[in-house]
Amino acid sequence: MTILNHPFRPARRRLIAGALLATGLGLQGLPALAQDNYPNRPIRLVVPFAPGGVTDTSGRLVADFLSRRLGQPIVVDNRTGASGNIGTAQVANAEPDGYTLVLGFDGTMVINPHVFPSVGFDTLKDFAPVGKIGDATLILVANAAFPANTLQEVIALSKRDSAGLSYGTSGTGGTPHIAGEQLKLRTQANLVHVPYRGGGQAMNDLLGNSIPLVFTAVAGAQAHLQTGKLKAIAVSSAQRSSALPNVPTFIESGVPNFVADSWVGILAPAKTPPAIVQRLNTELNAVLNDPEVRQRLQGLGIAASPGTSAQFGEAMKADLARYGEVVKAAGIKVE
């Protein structure tokens, strides 16, 4: 006789239901119990990029410290493809129980929806923002032999050359590309984008003087700036970078309100219970306020940015609109 056919099973179910009702829980109380007990098993953090990059490294760092606070392992799962769209879309369709999260990157969340015909997710409808991890400042750098030293000199030089000045980036549609096009639109500089298959290739050509300018993350250029092989033109943050305090911002260099930082954060599927999102946000902020974590993120060129889930959501919404205008004006598309 199997348990499923046991004659006393219905009675037993009624007895359990009665006990739950007697305690005031009922069947509706079961999700609340799950939330109160969260997490009680490992959490999966999908990183939609290959291992080893700055985004992946920052995610693994935060996952390690966050797992200690939550008391459960956080398993990093690299799901690559389509500039982050594949892994991100998988999380958009995952069970909204707090056990599947995604490492969100500005390129994937607020730029890809504008440059790809289809990304497989809706940034604002399919996700519950947990919190931003931090911001990575971009920098415009030139070869040491380049004749211009300031942003205004770069702009003037570009306008004197009918062929324009080439600037390299890690690829079409990435944050450095958007920053370059934004600079072009705001200043009417004659800049020509040269996309590479990764920032490393662009940097090699810049060092070899095959290309005059590169837009990249501060962390990717800092060592070459220290050796004098490259010169810094300007950084994209609202204030000067603590890593390069002597380098002016684009705002200081004559382009008002020019801010084009890259960022990374954590998101859950939409409809994840608010109590779980709040728990994750609270623990994430505690991690980001840890001096060791802040120092290690700074070494990756990322300034830790603790804040509320709502603040992260509003920032994404604003970036989605802002970058959409740049993409449309520049006619950027990835087929």
Residues of the chain with CATH 3.40.190.150: 43-135+262-330
Query: In the CATH hierarchy, which top-level class contains the domain 138-235?
Result: alpha beta
* Cβ neighbours of 308 (radius 10 Å): 15
Give the Cα separation of 266 and 48 in Å (integer).
12
Res 4 pLDDT > 50: no
- What pLDDT, on a 0 to 100 scale, did the predictor assign at position 124? 97
Q: Nearest Cα to 137, choosing from 264, 291, 50?
A: 264
Residues of the chain with CATH 3.40.190.10: 138-235
Mean pLDDT of 131-144: 95
Bridge partners of 75? Answer: 44
Give the Cα separation of 107 and 105 in Å (integer).
5
Q: Residue 246: pLDDT band by 50, 70, 90 thresholds?
A: very high
3-state DSSP of the chain: CCHHHCCCHHHHHHHHHHHHHHCCCCCCHHHHHHHHCCCCCCEEEEECCCCCCHHHHHHHHHHHHHHHHHCCCEEEEECCCHHHHHHHHHHHCCCCCCCEEEEEEHHHHHHHHHHCCCCCCCCCCCEEEEEEEEEECEEEEEECCCCCCCHHHHHHHHHHCCCCEEEEECCCCCHHHHHHHHHHHHHCCCEEEEECCCHHHHHHHHHCCCCCEEEEEHHHHHHHHHHCCEEEEEECCCCCCCCCCCCCECCCCCCCCCCCCEEEEEEEECCCCHHHHHHHHHHHHHHHCCHHHHHHHHHCCEEECCCCHHHHHHHHHHHHHHHHHHHHHHCCCCC
Give the Cα separation of 83 and 132 in Å (integer).
20
pLDDT in tens, 84-124: 999 999 999 999 999 999 999 999 999 999 999 999 999 99
Residue 134 φ then ψ, to 5°: 180, 175
The second-level CATH assignment, the architecture, of 43-135+262-330 is: 3-Layer(aba) Sandwich (3.40)
Average the pLDDT over each of 53-57, 86-90, 119-123, 277-281 and give the range with the smallest value.
53-57
Q: Nearest Cα to 178, choosing from 128, 118, 127, 105?
A: 105
pLDDT in tens, 193-220: 999 987 889 999 999 999 999 999 888 8
pLDDT in tens, 291-317: 999 999 998 889 999 999 999 999 999
Give the Cα separation of 141 and 218 in Å (integer).
9
